[in-house]
Structure 1
Amino acid sequence: MAQDSAAPSGSKPQTPPPQRFAVFDGDLDAEWLALYSRARALAIDTEAMGLIHGRDRLCLVQLCDAQDNVCCIRLARGQSEAPRLKQLLENTAVEKVFHFARFDVAALAENLGIAVNPIFCTKIASRLGRTYAPRHGLKDVVNELVGVELDKQAQSSDWGRVEELSEKQLTYAAGDVRWLLAARDRLETMLQREERWELAQRCFACIPVFADLDRMRFGSVFEH
């Protein structure tokens, strides 16, 4: 069941609302699957009860395309599949853009059995490209490259109350994906200019391996 509206309320005045905003329970509907399947790339983020895979369940998945069509998918406790979302995220014709993809890719695999491919990670791209910068969090990357200041006040909150998520939480969730594609394009330009684009692509290809290591509690296997 979807709730479709112009935008979630609560956005800062200087931030325009999404072109379109929808909230789904359990999975995408056929219309939004078709809409997103036509995209060259999609921005994706997730919200979970915590950071430990297998203990902390996945609660929310957010997506946005280049036309600023944003949706949030609320996942019920114990839900183990979302067929339309799986079809979309495993579609190799659509690039999936995350910030710190390692966590999201592991969460989607652990909770919904989704093998995301292909992947672009703006955090890895930032570390390879923005070597002049000391911080590579989403807020810092978007602020510098896109000129938008993200509101992170709802970052640490109870995402498990899926049916009762506040407008503030949904606004926060939408904001985390709306600017990722613009940041991705600016980072690719930077990486191409600095001749690090091929290296970045090789790093992105390794993300599913690191995600599996994290799920199996071997996340520190490469540490000294």
Structure 2
Amino acid sequence: MRTLTTTDELAEFCRRAAAQPYVTVDTEFLRERTYYSKLCLIQLALPGEDDADAVLVDPIEGTEMSLDPLYALMRDKSVVKVFHAARQDLEIFFIEGGVIPDPLFDTQVAAMVCGFGEQAGYETLVRRIVKAPLDKTSRFTDWSRRPLTDAQKSYALADVTHLRGIYEYLSERLERTGRKAWVEEELKILTDPETYISRPEEAWKRLKTRSNSSRFLAVVRELAKFREAHAQAENIPRNRVLKDDALLELASTRPRTPADLGKSRLLLREARRGAIAEGILAAVEAGVNCPADDLPKPPRERERGAVDPGLADLLRVLLKAKAEAAGVAQKLIATSADLDDIASGQRDGPALSGWRLEVFGRDALRLCAGEVALSSDGKGVTIVEL
């Protein structure tokens, strides 16, 4: 179990990796006490079964090590970078090094396209594809503590050594079924830098509110903006600044003074004074005094009763049948909200474009238009032309 702690060691491994068709990658990190993930360990493996071709890169032990050779490898278009459930790993590389691995292959996305179910877990793929056991006893370890034990190192390396066989199997299957382009379409979101940029002024859109009052939403927007900016500046979790339920409470009560903050039921004690308290009061004032032409518009929602429940149920039956026939996870094709959107007359959703249109969307539109019906013989669902 080789651990790299110097720039020269990392550069030498990356030179070898640059001559390979792919490299498997994983990271271990902590995020419980910070806004941005703290990178603790990077695992890399080259094609083959030689243990020498799998290494750990330790930025904590290697305090003087530069990760520039690794970032250069991530940019090397001749080498496919293989991850499993890459979202958080890619965010780390983007924030730490300003790089998004290219080209990218995500085995979780590929497995869903290949019929391994919803959100196919790594352990499931190891068991079903490479037929190997996986020791997960170190799953909840503190990766920032040193020294690492042999058990921790073995666990970490297994996340990239088994990934080689999984990648080769899924890649071949995608080529054989002609679905490689489907995966590439799905990866566009992961490879878009916008995915990893959190703008404070847009943070309010993540909150679920019961009120569509524009003035209420203006206060919510300003509070969420302050919370996001403060959390980023101090590198602390959002809920250490202001929890969601407290934010919504403050948007309703609209405190004007520190004494008003003291009446909050949900506000953290440390948020009732100092910079956080000042930020809350300023945000509330900005929301209350927001000009009418700058008031936020409520998120687009379907009009009550606009969804035809019978049609929505038929679309769910059609989706299940189409997903089973194609061997693709249902949620990858369309979510329940997507189906309700279609049943309410919306025609611009993700289920009606790209490969999803071919697999499901076209027949969904025909069903909505009354051009086809669904029938069952007790063994399966079939489409009947009308």
Q: Hey, what does 2:20 align to over in structure 1? A: 39
Does residue 91 of structure 1 match 2:72?
Answer: no
| Runs of 5+ unmatched residues, structure 2 | 207-334, 338-386
Q: Hey, what does 2:243 align to over in structure 1? A: none
Matches for 1:74-223 after TM superposition, within 5 Å: 74-76=58-60, 82-131=67-116, 133=117, 136-161=120-145, 163-209=146-192, 212-216=194-198
Query: Which of 71, 74, 92 is the matching residue for 2:55?
Result: 71
Identical residues among aligned pairs (%) = 23
Does residue 29 of structure 1 match 2:10?
Answer: yes
Which deviates the most, 91-100 or 29-38? 29-38
Question: 1:53–1:110: 8 Å Cα contact kept in structure 2?
Answer: no
- CA-based RMSD: 2.8
Query: Which of 60, 63, 79 is the matching residue for 2:41?
Result: 60
**Post-superposition offset of 1:193:** 3.5
Q: TM-score of the superposition, structure 2-length normalised? A: 0.47
The structure-2 alpha-carbon separation of the partners of 1:48 and 1:189, relative to structure 1 and needing over 3 Å to count, comes to: same
The one-letter amino acid of 2:4's match is F
Question: 1:80–1:112: 8 Å Cα contact kept in structure 2?
Answer: no
**Post-superposition offset of 1:208:** 2.0
Question: 1:63–1:72: 8 Å Cα contact kept in structure 2?
Answer: yes
- 1:97 match: secondary structure: strand
Higher helix share: 2
Question: 2:26–2:43: 8 Å Cα contact kept in structure 1?
Answer: yes
**Post-superposition offset of 1:79:** 8.2
- For 2:85 and 2:23, the matched residues in 1 are separated by 15
Q: TM-score of the superposition, structure 1-length normalised? A: 0.78
- For 1:134 and 1:33, the matched residues in 2 are separated by 34
| Residues 10-51 of structure 1: CA deviation (Å, up to 9, x unaligned) | xxxxxxxxxxxx201254433212211111100000000137
Question: 2:189–2:195: 8 Å Cα contact kept in structure 1?
Answer: no
**Post-superposition offset of 1:65:** 0.4
Over alpha carbons, which structure has the higher Rg? Answer: 2
| Residues 139-165 of structure 1: CA deviation (Å, up to 9, x unaligned) | 10111011112111111111112x411
Question: 1:79–1:111: 8 Å Cα contact kept in structure 2?
Answer: no
Higher strand share: 1
- For 2:114 and 2:157, the matched residues in 1 are separated by 26
**Post-superposition offset of 1:98:** 0.1
| Residues 103-155 of structure 1: CA deviation (Å, up to 9, x unaligned) | 11111111233331110000000111125x35611010111011112111111
